[in-house]
Structure 1
Amino acid sequence: MIFEQVTLNNFGIYQGEHIVDLNITDHTKPVVLFGGLNGGGKTTFLDSLQLALYGKNAKCSNRGKLSYSDYLKQAVNRYSENKSASVALSFRHTQRTQTKRYEVIRSWEATANKEITDKVQVRVNGELDKLLTDNWNDFVSEFIPQSMSELFFFDGEKIEDLADPARSAQLLKTGIEALLGLELFTQLSKDLNSQKRRRQERNLDSTASKKVEELKQRKELLDNNLLGIEKNIQNILDEENALTDQLKDIEIQMQTSGANLLDDVNDIQLDRRAIASQLEAIDHNLIKLAAGAMPLSLAQTLLQETKQQALLEDEVTGFDNAQKHIKANNDELIKRLKATATNDVAEQVDQLLNSIWKESKDSLSQEKYLNTNPIIFDFAETAIESDKTESEELIKQKKELQETLALLDKKLDAVPDSESVKEQIEAKGRIEASIAHSKTTLDSLMEEMALCKTQMNENEARLDATLIQQNAEDFEGKRNEQVAEHLVEMRDIVDAFKAQLIEENIATLEKRIKSKFDSLERKSELVAKVKINPETFNLTLLGLDGLALDTKRLSAGERQLLSVAILWALAEASGKEIPTIIDTPMGRLDGKHRTKLVENYFPEAAGQVILLSTDEEIAGQYYKKLKRSVAKEYHISYGEEAKTSTITEGYFGESA
């Protein structure tokens, strides 16, 4: 199944008509990416998809305890002159080799003091299909069963709760029963049990009948009690979801006012003092460098000229020393010539040698005023270059530290006076206390529900025992008992087959959940094995030591990844090609966890993946990593002047 187009008309925050193309044609690019700030209309868009498909059974985010009529009324855009609204979803679905295009149009009109009902139209390949239109609530389960919708439509921030064993157990139970069609087995087992009791009740004497009636009344009382407990649990969960939304709103307010920084003031001040200390150390080192050879770099040209002068003086000194030896040799040569040759020859050689000596002396005539060894300039140049390199590195470090210091000062400036945000802090505290109270109440209700189920099982056993003991011995009684025994055998066979089917598929599901979690969790050695109890459906994580891991030891991000792994595994096990829609996909994850989702989950979650992200989630490197898998990009923004949200192509300024 591929969602092709959504049309919103005066729905929620969307005034007027808004048409969004969701069609996917390239299987290597399954992602349709929506970007929008909180409160801009992302969740409303997700609600429109569920409302179009499921109507009054849709699990819309802001419905709460409203009746369906009241919800439809408040879903009409408040600024629209026309008090009618509609949502339409078109999708294509392939069965065997035949592909059809379906369009579901759900519309309603808000009228004063009147119950509101919606009108559904279903078109197949452009033609109105009356059968589907009249029976859509039954037919929709063929495409996406209501019991499985949570596997494909979910809020990324709220699914963290599924890591809790009690909550994940209910999802796993619902998912597995929906995948295997176990509702039929459960109903068959109940029907067989009812038939058995009818047969046995025919053989009861008056005393036994009275006892059975009492046990049946107790059974009815326990059933009603269980329904009441389950209703209370759902109310607590709804209340907790509402409180969570309120907490999110107050946290956004505190972030805007800077109140969230109050808890971090001490850490910021410690960081600032550490940075200031480092800057002081750098300044001290720069002063030491300034007191060394480095200032000579200012007279680099003069230093080079001085070095050249020293080299010339050194050369002249060498020449003078050499000339002394040459002069002595020349004198010895003339002396020997005078002894062996004529005076004229000796005189000519003497004049010639004197002329050569004078020319050499004149060519190297140089004033000597430095009288120093040139090698000291090499040492100076090396010292200057070393100090210069060190000073440049220190200056670079100083600039970076100054920028960090400015950022910390900016944070400190943003910290408000505690008195000015006192109401926000107190409001957050009250909401957190209410959430904690809800969790405590929920735990208590869970225990109460477990106790009620135990009492129901005990009452069931007593009822069965009473029915068996009081069977009459006549022919009809024996016949009824025989039939009842066969019915028990049939029920046991059905229950055994159901249990075996669950156990076999749970083993496969355990491996799927472990595999998906490993592909998402960067610490793959954290969980060695995943176990699911085939009776309670409670999920247990086992560490490398074989001992159970408490999910409370996992971080918020790790719990969210575990929940994603559960949903991913169940969706994959369903074998249904259904789009996956995720609102706020990475709200509580750190960088590495986000990378795992972007690289391993989003491109593989389904044939079509619709992501509704804020500007702080899929951005920067994550956007670049996901880009190659993105088919379409949209930006959802609210216009204060127009009083409506709009959906335009492009993602936070990126071209589509």
Structure 2
Amino acid sequence: MILDELVLHDFGVYRGRQVFTLTPEAADRPVVLIGAQNGAGKTTFLEGLQLALYGRLSQAGLRGAGGYEAYLQGAIHRRASPQEGASLELNFRRTVAGCERRYGVRRSWTAHKSGVKEHFEVLVDGQFDRVLTQHWSEFGEEMLPPRIAPLFFFDGEKIEQFADLKRSAEIVGVAVKALLGLDIVERLELDLDVLERRKLAEQAKLDVRAELAAAEADVDAASERQRTHYEAVAGVRMRRDRCASSVAKSRADLRRQGGDLFSSRQTLADQKARLETELEAARKDMRSWAGDVAPLLLVQDLTQEVVGQARAEADTESMRIILHHLEGRDRSLLSWLQGAGGSVDMVAEAHAYLDADRASLAERSAGDAWIDLSPMARLGLETLVESGLAESLTERDRLLARLDGLEAQKDDLDRQLAAVPAPETIEPLVAALEQDEADLIECEAELLVAVRAHETAEREVAAARARYQSRLNQQVRLGLAQEDANRIVRHSAKARATLKAFKQEVVSHHVHRLERFILEALGELMRKSDLITDVRIDPKSFAIELRDGGWGVLSPDQLSAGERQLLAVALLWALAKASGQAAPTVIDTPLGRLDSQHRSRLVDRYFPFAGDQVILLSTDEEIDGPLYERLKPFLSRTFTIRYDAAAGGSVVEPGYAFANAAMEAA
């Protein structure tokens, strides 16, 4: 089976007529890659494919709990007229009796006040086929039964549940029975059991028949209560899942709107207040510095001249004191010379010499005192000029550096505070998150109550069946009244035993085959070749047991999240191989939780060989530029789903835009 084309018209998020051409160009290029951002239409593509094939029998996880018609009405694009409705077209090829036939499936619907009207038709080789249109469900059961469709059409983000060995046992059991048609055998066993009970009841005495009828009524009533509680559990679990999704979305919205910054706003405000106090202290220190000797830095040359003038005036004053002292000395010296008997000429010559010497000194002390500083003031001024101004400059640089650093810190805090969203923006998101979390807690509690009620109903069913069986056993002990009933019961029991043995033998054979397929798939996908060396499946319970290189039992908890997803992929791959169906493989979000090495192994070893046609629905963060280049040799076609705000919906464009963007960024 090869899908050639899928056309979605006003379906879900897709606006107008959007066409996906899916035919592989060559057998060695089976992969069709479709890229889209989250919410652009990947899941809608997968739902549309399954809805086109199976209609109300689709197991695509039709969203909503209002039934099939409510789903169809909700699937009409919000801008499209409900009276015009939406439609799906799927064209594919399939070989029948050695001949290739082309099929076209057309499904459309419109919504009116009276309800939803659906139209469906099938074309074979371009011609309308009335018989196939009327019996399409039987043809689909033969072509690709809906119960095994999830083995070929699946969501990569949800398949990790398959790696839970307790849940996977149930999944493998359902899949194996569906693949082998054993559900029909089990239905036959049940029918034979009903036949036996009816024949045994017919042979009961009149009084025992009443007891049997009452016991059977109890069984039916208990079974009905069990079914009601089971449906209640399913409904509550669906609501719980929606609440969990709402909580995740609300948390993402809060984080995207700056919720982390909003929660730290008081801390940032306190830091700013402390910084402003430190800034004011730094500015005060700067003002104190400016009010000290800083003004003299503006007139350093003049200050140097003042120091020089002060020194000159100090020298002049010193010279005047010396002259005053010399005048007294000279008078004493001349008097001494005259008294010592010196000659008149010698005294006159000494007097002339001393007068000339004092006159010379008097010329040097003739300057005026403009500044007239005291010695202490002059010494202080000299100290200031020689070292004080330089120290003042050093202090200025230190104060400025401190002030600049504090202002830079304040600017950074101002930017952070400016990025904090306003309370009126963030508070509704916080309130929405709190409400979603409260709803989730309420759903969890309601689910616990519903599960316990269902378990109680199951025990009541078991008790009612035990009482009924007890009545049957009593009737059997009373003997059978009719030989024909004896024969029927006897042969029915043998037939059931034969069916049971047949089922066990068939299951055992195919389980071993499935074990081999799972191990082969793990060998292809796992980076650690010795991590899982053996796989065992119990033919009765379908419980899966993994063994490591030392042949010890390996728990899924010992696997990383990526390895568990690869285990789930291997399980699906093996089940798909075991089915023997030549169906395309469609994977939504194939690499969501894997690291780079595991992604590479899926790209290299799984996608190119998962089937004759593999359709991948990827986000931009999954298959990026490097992975696209590795997958490119196996690609036939690529598309990008882009949401067009002007059109109000998603549109399909050729090419894989995310690869180009990733390569340009690189």
* TM-score (ref. length: structure 1): 0.70
Q: Which residue of 1 aligns with 2:55?
A: 55
Contact 1:203 1:472 (C-alpha < 8 Å) held by counterparts: no
Contact 1:104 1:120 (C-alpha < 8 Å) held by counterparts: yes
Separation of aligned partners in 2, 1:554 and 1:440: 31
Cα distance change, pair 264–651 in 1 and its aligned pair in 2 (3 A)? farther
After the TM superposition, which residues 170-319 of structure 1 pair with which residues of structure 2 at under 5 Å, given as runs? 170-247=170-247, 249-250=249-250, 252-254=252-254, 256-257=256-257, 259=259
Uncovered stretches (5+) of structure 1, i.e. residues with no partner: 266-408
Letter in 1 for 2:154: F
Contact 1:109 1:116 (C-alpha < 8 Å) held by counterparts: yes
Separation of aligned partners in 2, 1:609 and 1:262: 46
Uncovered stretches (5+) of structure 2, i.e. residues with no partner: 266-412, 662-666
Separation of aligned partners in 2, 1:424 and 1:45: 31
Cα distance change, pair 106–490 in 1 and its aligned pair in 2 (3 A)? same
Q: Which residue of 1 aligns with 2:612?
A: 607
After the TM superposition, which residues 507-526 of structure 1 pair with which residues of structure 2 at under 5 Å, given as runs? 507-526=512-531
Letter in 2 for 1:98: C
Does residue 2 of structure 1 match 2:7? no
Does residue 103 of structure 1 match 2:104? yes
Separation of aligned partners in 2, 1:199 and 1:207: 16
Cα distance change, pair 80–454 in 1 and its aligned pair in 2 (3 A)? closer
Separation of aligned partners in 1, 2:230 and 2:196: 28
Separation of aligned partners in 2, 1:435 and 1:196: 48
Determine what percentage of the aligned residue pairs are the same residue: 34
Separation of aligned partners in 2, 1:513 and 1:432: 40
Q: Which residue of 2 aligns with 1:645?
A: 650
Contact 2:93 2:101 (C-alpha < 8 Å) held by counterparts: yes
Does residue 88 of structure 1 match 2:93? no
Contact 1:5 1:20 (C-alpha < 8 Å) held by counterparts: yes
Separation of aligned partners in 1, 2:146 and 2:262: 45
- Range moving further from structure 2, 607-616 or 218-227: 218-227
Q: Which residue of 2 aligns with 1:485?
A: 490
Contact 1:532 1:538 (C-alpha < 8 Å) held by counterparts: yes
Cα distance change, pair 636–9 in 1 and its aligned pair in 2 (3 A)? same
Cα distance change, pair 651–531 in 1 and its aligned pair in 2 (3 A)? same
For residue 582 of structure 2, the aligned residue among 542, 565, 577 is: 577
Q: Which residue of 1 aligns with 2:38?
A: 38
How far did residue 78 of structure 1 move? Answer: 2.0
Separation of aligned partners in 2, 1:516 and 1:449: 38
How far did residue 493 of structure 1 move? Answer: 1.0
Cα distance change, pair 638–515 in 1 and its aligned pair in 2 (3 A)? same
Letter in 1 for 2:192: L
Q: Which residue of 2 aligns with 1:78?
A: 78
Separation of aligned partners in 1, 2:558 and 2:428: 32
Letter in 1 for 2:544: L
For residue 508 of structure 2, the aligned residue among 487, 495, 503 is: 503
Contact 1:649 1:655 (C-alpha < 8 Å) held by counterparts: no
How far did residue 433 of structure 1 move? Answer: 7.4
Separation of aligned partners in 2, 1:539 and 1:474: 45
How far did residue 34 of structure 1 move? Answer: 0.5
Letter in 2 for 1:235: G
Separation of aligned partners in 1, 2:168 and 2:454: 16
- Range moving further from structure 2, 625-634 or 432-441: 432-441
Separation of aligned partners in 2, 1:414 and 1:494: 75
Contact 2:4 2:23 (C-alpha < 8 Å) held by counterparts: yes
Partner-residue secondary structure (3-state), 2:482: helix
Q: Deviations over 1:369-404 (max 9, x none)?
A: xxxxxxxxxxxxxxxxxxxxxxxxxxxxxxxxxxxx
Letter in 2 for 1:33: L
Cα distance change, pair 653–546 in 1 and its aligned pair in 2 (3 A)? closer
Letter in 1 for 2:92: F
Separation of aligned partners in 1, 2:87 and 2:222: 43
Contact 2:69 2:116 (C-alpha < 8 Å) held by counterparts: yes
Letter in 2 for 1:522: R
Q: Deviations over 1:476-523 (max 9, x none)?
A: 434422431221111111112112222222222233223323432323
- Range moving further from structure 2, 421-430 or 587-596: 421-430
Q: Deviations over 1:557-614 (max 9, x none)?
A: 2332222222111111100011111111111222122112111211111111111111
Partner-residue secondary structure (3-state), 1:585: coil
For residue 564 of structure 1, the aligned residue among 559, 564, 569 is: 569
Aligned residues: 512
Cα distance change, pair 72–549 in 1 and its aligned pair in 2 (3 A)? same
How far did residue 11 of structure 1 move? Answer: 1.3
Separation of aligned partners in 2, 1:579 and 1:244: 32
Separation of aligned partners in 2, 1:521 and 1:240: 34
Letter in 1 for 2:571: I
Letter in 2 for 1:217: A
Letter in 2 for 1:551: P
Cα distance change, pair 88–596 in 1 and its aligned pair in 2 (3 A)? same
* TM-score (ref. length: structure 2): 0.69
Contact 2:624 2:659 (C-alpha < 8 Å) held by counterparts: no
Contact 1:200 1:468 (C-alpha < 8 Å) held by counterparts: no
- Range moving further from structure 2, 226-235 or 630-639: 226-235
Separation of aligned partners in 1, 2:141 and 2:613: 19
Separation of aligned partners in 2, 1:532 and 1:209: 44
Partner-residue secondary structure (3-state), 2:117: coil
Separation of aligned partners in 2, 1:615 and 1:493: 55
Separation of aligned partners in 2, 1:556 and 1:415: 35
Letter in 2 for 1:117: K
After the TM superposition, which residues 435-446 of structure 1 pair with which residues of structure 2 at under 5 Å, given as runs? none
Letter in 1 for 2:86: A
Cα distance change, pair 552–238 in 1 and its aligned pair in 2 (3 A)? farther
How far did residue 23 of structure 1 move? Answer: 0.6
After the TM superposition, which residues 20-31 of structure 1 pair with which residues of structure 2 at under 5 Å, given as runs? 20-31=20-31
Separation of aligned partners in 2, 1:517 and 1:445: 38
Separation of aligned partners in 2, 1:429 and 1:513: 44
Cα distance change, pair 250–601 in 1 and its aligned pair in 2 (3 A)? farther
